[in-house]
Every structure is written in C-alpha cells, then in structure tokens.
C-alpha cells in the first residue's frame, strides 16, 4: 500500500501547491484522465506498469477532496500481471508552519484490491484509514532536501491487511505473483 500511497501523496502535494494560486477563491473542480505506461523495477522485479486514473477532485485553500479511481496493472516479462484497484474518496489537508509541512490524508472506500492474472484476490484493504505525515521542507525551492520527520496511522476502521503488515504485504504479493 505504501507503494500506492506514495504516488497518491506526491500527486496530492503537487496538486495542493498548484491550488495555492486560488487562495481565498471558490474551490476549483478538476476532472482529468491519465493513461500512462512505463517500465520500472517493482519490488525487485522488472515490470511494465500501466496507470489508469479517472480523476475528479475539488481543490480548496488548504485541502483537497478527491473521488478518483485508479487502476495500476503490473506485467512481468512472462505476461503474468497483478492489478491494484483503488476507489473511494480521499480527503487531504495540509498545514504549513514555516518550513514544516503537516499533511493528513483520510481514505475511505477501497485502498487496495489486488487481483492477479490467475484471478486471485491477494489483498483487499477497505474501510477508512487516516495518515499524518510531517515533512521538514528545509529549502522550499528544493524538494531534494525534504526530510520526513514522522509518518503515522492515526485512525483505522475496516480490514487493512497492507497497513497491518507494516506495508510489506504488497511486495510479498508481487514476489508471489510476478516473481
């Protein structure tokens, strides 16, 4: 799940920064579609990753409400694939105090539903889960020097095998299905 959350959080932060232009204005409603394919090393296995995203987000001054759907498909050289489907609302809030950024992400719905080419559902995180991350941005112009000060789960309801595994289940499943 950490593999899935990091891109979502990074995307959210980039979108939050762009939304800051609208400070004090009405919320911005944005719908977008992404369909990208690229090669990567996933948990030690070379795969082709396809990202399909149907985005639907509201940008406020200090928060985002996102009801996007994401389908990530990882395919190995043998043609075996693993799909991760994510859907449901995400509520993202940020607070910047000097160069310390605190963001809270509350996810509801499906955070991780893994299916393989064999049709197996390997993991199924659903319900609600809330993360709080604190980042020292150091030089606001240089994202390379950012330091994560803390990252914690502050609320959890529903089954979350990925979170319960300390975010190791995903790579275990990748190894089992694609390795």
Element (H, E) at 108: strand 100-116
In this predicted structure, what is the pLDDT of residue 144? 86
In this predicted structure, what is the pLDDT of residue 100? 92
Distances (CA, A) of 110 to 88, 92, 162: 6, 16, 12
Characterize the bridge pairing of strands 147-157 and 81-87.
unpaired
In this predicted structure, what is the pLDDT of residue 108? 94
Measured over the CA atoms of residue 143, residue 6, residue 50 and residue 88, the dihedral's sign is: negative
- In the chain, the number of structural domains is 1
Q: Print pLDDT tens along the chain (179 aa).
A: 444 444 444 444 444 444 444 445 688 999 999 999 999 999 999 999 999 999 999 988 888 999 999 999 999 999 999 999 999 999 999 998 988 999 899 999 998 999 998 887 766 889 999 999 999 998 878 888 899 999 999 999 999 998 888 888 899 999 999 98
Burial class (CB in 10 A: 0-12, 13-18, 19+), 98: exposed
What three-state secondary structure class fits 68? coil
Alpha-carbon distance 152 to 132, whole Å? 5
What three-state secondary structure class fits 161? helix
Alpha-carbon distance 115 to 90, whole Å? 22
Neighbours of 87 (CB within 10 A): 16
Domain that holds residue 66: 2-178
User: Is 174 in contact with 162 (CB distance < 8 Å)?
Assistant: no
In this predicted structure, what is the pLDDT of residue 24? 56
| Residue whose C-alpha is closest to residue 72's, from 86, 62, 84 | 84
In this predicted structure, what is the pLDDT of residue 178? 93
Phi/psi for 100 (5° steps) reads -100, 115
Alpha-carbon distance 160 to 97, whole Å? 31
pTM of the full predicted structure?
0.77
């Amino acid at each position: 799940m950490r593999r899935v959350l990091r891109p979502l959080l990074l995307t959210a932060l980039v979108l939050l920064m762009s939304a800051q232009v609208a400070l004090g204005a009405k919320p911005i409603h944005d719908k977008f579609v992404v369909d990208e394919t690229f090669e990567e090393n996933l948990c030690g296995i070379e795969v082709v990753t396809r990202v399909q995203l149907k985005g639907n987000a509201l940008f406020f001054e200090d928060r985002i409400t996102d009801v996007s759907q994401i389908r990530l498909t990882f395919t190995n050289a043998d043609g075996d694939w693993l799909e991760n489907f994510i859907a449901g609302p995400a509520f993202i809030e940020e607070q910047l105090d000097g160069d310390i950024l605190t963001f809270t992400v509350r996810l509801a719905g499906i955070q991780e539903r893994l299916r393989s080419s064999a049709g197996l559902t390997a993991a199924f995180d659903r319900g609600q889960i809330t993360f709080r991350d604190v980042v020292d941005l150091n030089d606001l112009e240089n994202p390379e020097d950012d330091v994560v000060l803390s990252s914690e789960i502050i609320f959890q309801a529903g089954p979350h095998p990925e979170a319960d595994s300390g975010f190791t289940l995903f790579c275990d499943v990748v190894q089992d299905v694609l390795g």
